[in-house]
Amino acid sequence: MRKNIHPTYEEATITCACGNVINTRSTVKEMHVNTCSACHPFYTGQSTFIDAEGRVEQFRRRYAAAANK
């Protein structure tokens, strides 16, 4: 391995927009993110299920004419 070409791997702080602070190690000292596991709807259980039935019916109507040709 060549010397003096790799970035230093040191303590890092990740700060979320919600105020959550995560301490980890990285080549970047500080990072600011918009969402984290403390505020993301998937991880907090607040995610909503989008009804996809309308999308399927729209697909069938759009390609029904092509199937009949």
For 15-52, the pLDDT digits (tens) are 999 999 999 999 999 999 998 888 887 777 776 666 66
The reported pTM is 0.57
Among candidate residues 11, 18, 59, 24, the one with its CA nearest the CA of residue 39: 18
What total of structural domains would you count in the chain? 1
Classify residue 58: in a domain, yes or no.
yes
What domain range is 28 assigned to?
10-68
Classify residue 49: in a domain, yes or no.
yes
Classify residue 5: in a domain, yes or no.
no
Give the CATH number of the domain where residue 31 resides: 4.10.80.400
User: Which range, of 1-10, 11-20, 44-53, 54-63, averages the lowest pLDDT?
Assistant: 44-53
- Give the rounded distance of the alpha carbon of 41 from its chain centre: 11
Classify residue 19: in a domain, yes or no.
yes
